[in-house]
């Protein structure tokens, strides 16, 4: 069972809900995704569920991210099942917020979602009728999305990392300030390299989900052109692609108002 952190407003009726996926944080870490979920809950009456992805281990200041895309997708499906089977949430008003590599994992989830055949039935990837257990997302906000390995940094840097054989370093400036190291180890690095949300989403059709993408123009972790393409493939409008003069770690004060307004507007419209 995936571990989650819940933000629940007081309400006698069903409420909208936002699923939050931080960029491979350990469950003990508080991040900006938590800030967004808390604010949406307290000020807008929107529930929040933070996913603590499986396989992230902490030993003091060392955080090891045992990357397993299939398991991460199962974690998202588990949370969706919890929402659909519960009495607290409005299943027609679900949002998603993710940063960095988790925003790429979200793309793989969307690519997996079953498609309708025009009736009330749902088709799986093989065309077989399956259960209706996917999410009807009203909106998503993606911060510095990393769609996959081919979008990481530059080709030269990727070569150096592969040749070193020490896994994929994920330590960011904010981690360094706290003395934390973060790493996808070598034994799960091959799994991480398979991730390619852009290719997985070829043929994807957005059926009404609002998309906001925040991009740092000086991002040295996620390729800026690929972030532009990712936003386009997901069906995002140009006016909802926001760019800032910063790197991968977009300052919270620059993004918080835009993201809160976008998600709350999409989830409380016609409520």
Reported pTM = 0.90
Beta strand segments in 134-199, E: 137-143, 168-169, 181-184
Strand pairing partners for 47? 17
CA atoms within 13 A on the CB side of 135: 29
pLDDT at 52: 93
Structure token digits, residue 269 = 């419209």
Q: What is the pLDDT along the chain (271 residues), one digit of tens a residue?
A: 678 999 999 998 999 999 999 989 999 998 999 999 999 999 999 999 999 998 999 999 999 999 999 999 999 999 999 999 888 999 999 999 999 999 999 999 999 876 433 333 344 443 443 444 566 799 999 999 999 999 999 999 999 999 999 999 999 888 999 999 999 999 999 999 999 999 999 989 998 999 999 999 999 999 999 999 999 999 999 999 999 999 999 999 999 999 999 999 999 976 5
Domains annotated for the chain, with CATH where assigned, are 3-268 (3.40.50.1820)
User: Which residues are CB-neighbours of 58 under 8 A, at least 6 positions away?
Assistant: 26, 28, 64
pLDDT at position 260, please?
Answer: 97
- 237, 265 Cβ separation under 8 angstroms: no
Residue-level pLDDT at 121: 38
Q: Distance between CA atoms of 249 and 257, rounded to whole angstroms?
A: 16
Give the contacts of 35 (CB within 8 A, at least 6 positions apart).
Answer: 252, 256
State the CB neighbour count (10 A cutoff) for residue 187.
10
Which pLDDT belongs to residue 190?
Answer: 93
174, two tokens: 């904010």
> Taking the CA atoms of the chain, what radius of gyration do you get in angstroms?
18
């Amino acid at each position: 069972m995936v571990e989650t952190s819940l933000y629940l407003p007081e309400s006698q009726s069903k409420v909208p809900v936002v699923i939050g996926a931080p960029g491979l944080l350990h469950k003990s870490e508080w991040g900006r995704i938590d800030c967004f979920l808390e604010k949406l809950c307290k000020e807008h009456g929107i529930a929040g569920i933070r996913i603590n992805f499986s396989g992230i281990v902490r030993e003091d200041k060392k955080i090891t991210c045992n990357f397993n895309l299939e398991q991460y997708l199962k974690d998202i499906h588990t949370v969706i099942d919890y929402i659909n089977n519960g009495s607290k949430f409005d299943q027609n008003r679900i949002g998603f917020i993710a940063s960095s590599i988790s925003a790429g994992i979200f793309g793989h989830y969307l690519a997996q979602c079953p498609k309708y055949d025009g009736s009330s039935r749902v088709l799986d990837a093989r065309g077989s009728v399956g259960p209706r257990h996917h999410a009807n997302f009203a909106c998503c906000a993606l911060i510095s999305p990393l769609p996959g390995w081919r979008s990481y940094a530059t080709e030269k840097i990727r070569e150096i990392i592969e040749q070193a054989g020490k896994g994929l370093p994920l330590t960011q400036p904010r981690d360094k300030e706290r003395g934390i190291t973060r790493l996808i180890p070598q034994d799960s690095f091959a799994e991480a390299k398979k991730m390619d949300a852009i290719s997985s989403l070829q043929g994807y059709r957005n059926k009404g989900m609002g998309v906001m993408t925040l991009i740092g123009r000086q991002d040295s972790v996620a390729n800026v052109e690929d972030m532009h393409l990712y936003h386009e493939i997901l069906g995002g409008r140009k006016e909802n692609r926001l760019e800032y003069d910063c790197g991968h770690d977009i300052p919270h004060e620059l993004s918080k108002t835009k993201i809160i307004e976008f998600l709350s507007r999409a989830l409380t419209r016609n409520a």
